[in-house]
Amino acid sequence: MLGVKGAALIRAWVEDTMTAPLKIAVYWRGSNSPLTEVLQLLTEQKFRIREASTVSDVVSLLVRYNKPLIVADGSASEAEENARLLELSSIDDAKKCPAVLLGASASSKADQLASCVEAFAAIDFPCEPANAGKIINSIWSSVHAAELPLVMGRPGGRKGISRKRVEHSIPLNNEQKQLVSEAGNVLAGAAISQQRPIEEFIPNHPYKPFILDAVKRMDQEDEWIGGHGKRTSAVSSVASTITVGDESRLENIQLSSMLLNVSTITNGSPCAHVDLTRVSADRDEKQKLAALYRASAEFVRQELKDDRVSRTINAVSSLLLGQPVDEKFAIVNDAQCILGAEFVDRGCWADGVWNPRGANRVIRNLRSSQPIVNDDILLGVFTKIVGEAVIANPRITNTQFTNRKILEQALTLPKIGDGETYVDVSDLAPGMKLSQPIKTLDGLIVVPGNLTLDSDLIRRLWQLAGVRAVGTKVAVITDSI
């Protein structure tokens, strides 16, 4: 018979193998000797390491294991970085695996890496081990989310969260599509939102003159905060309109979004530009931002006498820190709308200009197993809005194509045959079959033709569009619509 210790060991082994996928890391460094610090880092993250020195070694390991983490080490030289990238792009089985590129200038090659694999991270090496470990685990988890044990007690108090990636294929009517398109355009173009008067973003309220004065003072204190308030108000309002459609709650969301950062007029804004896509759960910046929100809530309570807006802003602060929220469902749901919009805009605009890499990180989070908010429908709406923004951005800001004539030529649609139809990228739906490849505006094929789309592939296309502009329409087989 087994002793108590033996039974416990067997039970632990069974629980480990039955509830979580095996963490395999394929460490690939070409002809160079393995780096001890990388091996140690992977070991600390509980990966079982398999070393590879050639492409054939990697291919054989990919066949043997289920989507292992590929660690392509190009830290020996820039030539090694380029070699790893070129070799990785030639391995078809690698496309659905999580991959990490290590190298002195790895981050500059993120665009190339994005075209090779589904989930990736480019880490400049040497690096801080703790941060690198979190990044590596996040990349691996995003691919293996469906196989992981249930995550309990995520922000908002909801239990039994789905293990799978959220399916964001939300059918929208024409009116809702128009709302999403408008929100995407506001998000994509700072000039558009700056030209619209503040009054358009603030609903009727007994203290509306005071609110207008406070928002204008906030804009004078920090112009970025003023534009940020307009954009988050537009994005959160659309999210609420589509998911709830309650006028009274819409007013609460608009006011809460505009006043979320209002304490900057009295406290300044040392942390007001924090990019939430770059901040981990235990970082000081997130704590400081939550404190700024709480100060705004107190300002609203004392100066505007609006208890509901104050409670909503406090709920946003708690959700940001992953704390339980003891509030009515409507307040929590409104707070999730606002936090999602905050996350989206801070990721896309933290640097003061449209940041395509930030948009890429935003959609990556919305696709992940642990996104910023835990409401599946809200995630779908936010994904669609950012998708609209990354598609609209080349037309509005013209940042990637400084020559307007070249841009218009790139957007010119080729002729299509019988049985084919052009569909807006924002209207792509699961089940549609491509009749022609999808290309970036500079000619790179990112999705081959004759491929049937699913929800995740559509979201990945939007994610890629954040860093590499694609055309606004796609040719599909008419019968598949």
Q: What is the pTM of this model?
A: 0.56
| Within-domain flag for 28 | yes
| Within-domain flag for 163 | no
One domain, residues 293 and 390: yes
121: left (phi over 0), alpha (psi -120 to 50) or beta: beta
- Asked which of 396, 426, 447 is the last residue of a domain, the reply is 396
User: Which are the contacts of 59, defined by CB distance < 8 A and separation ≥ 6?
Assistant: 91, 93
Comparing CA positions, the residue from 25, 8, 392, 382 lying closest to residue 191 is 392
**101: helix, strand or coil:** strand
Q: What end-to-end distance do the CA atoms of the chain give, in Å? A: 63
One domain, residues 117 and 189: no
Question: CA–CA separation, 261 vs 228, rounded Å?
Answer: 9
25: which 2 tokens?
């890391």
Residues 445-450: contacts with CB within 8 Å, 24+ apart? 446/115, 446/470
DSSP classification of residue 472: S
Name the packing angle between helices 223-243 and 376-396 (round to 10°).
Answer: 130
58: which 2 tokens?
């990697």
DSSP 109-120: GHHHHHTT-SEE
| Within-domain flag for 164 | no
| Within-domain flag for 284 | yes
| Within-domain flag for 367 | yes
Report CA torsion sign: 315, 320, 321, 322. Answer: positive
| Within-domain flag for 184 | yes
One domain, residues 186 and 319: yes
| Within-domain flag for 188 | yes
Tens digit of pLDDT per residue, the chain (481 long)?
434 444 444 344 333 333 446 788 999 887 677 788 888 888 888 888 888 888 888 888 888 788 899 999 888 888 888 888 888 888 888 888 888 888 888 888 877 777 777 677 888 888 887 778 878 877 777 677 545 443 322 333 333 323 333 344 456 777 887 888 888 878 876 444 455 666 666 777 777 787 788 878 877 777 788 788 888 888 998 888 887 777 778 888 988 998 898 887 776 656 667 888 887 655 788 888 899 999 999 989 998 888 999 999 999 999 998 888 888 878 888 999 999 999 999 988 877 777 777 887 888 888 777 788 877 778 888 888 887 787 666 554 444 444 445 555 555 677 788 889 988 776 788 888 998 888 776 667 778 888 888 877 887 777 666 555 666 678 898 888 7
**259: helix, strand or coil:** helix
Question: CA–CA separation, 67 vs 120, rounded Å?
Answer: 13
The answer to whether the bond into 126 is cis (omega within 30° of 0) is yes
One domain, residues 223 and 372: yes
φ and ψ of 447, to 5 deg = -140, 125
Say how many domains are in the chain: 3
One domain, residues 234 and 94: no
Determine the length of the chain.
481
**420: helix, strand or coil:** strand
One domain, residues 383 and 461: no
One domain, residues 136 and 181: no
| Within-domain flag for 165 | no
Whether residue 445 contacts residue 460, with contact meaning beta carbons closer than 8 Å, is answered with: no
176: which 2 tokens?
């809702």
One domain, residues 257 and 222: yes
Question: CA–CA separation, 184 vs 190, rounded Å?
Answer: 11
One domain, residues 311 and 230: yes
- Asked which of 370, 396, 422 is the last residue of a domain, the reply is 396
User: Which are the contacts of 376, defined by CB distance < 8 A and separation ≥ 6?
Assistant: 162, 166, 167, 168
Question: CA–CA separation, 233 vs 215, rounded Å?
Answer: 12
One domain, residues 264 and 373: yes
One domain, residues 390 and 297: yes
- Domain residues for 351? 174-396
CATH classification at residue 22: 3.40.50.2300
Name the packing angle between helices 376-396 and 455-465 (round to 10°).
Answer: 40
C-alpha angle 129/131/136, rounded to 5°? 90
One domain, residues 138 and 207: no
Question: CA–CA separation, 11 vs 2, rounded Å?
Answer: 12
Whether residue 284 contacts residue 270, with contact meaning beta carbons closer than 8 Å, is answered with: no
Comparing CA positions, the residue from 356, 357, 472, 345 lying closest to residue 407 is 472
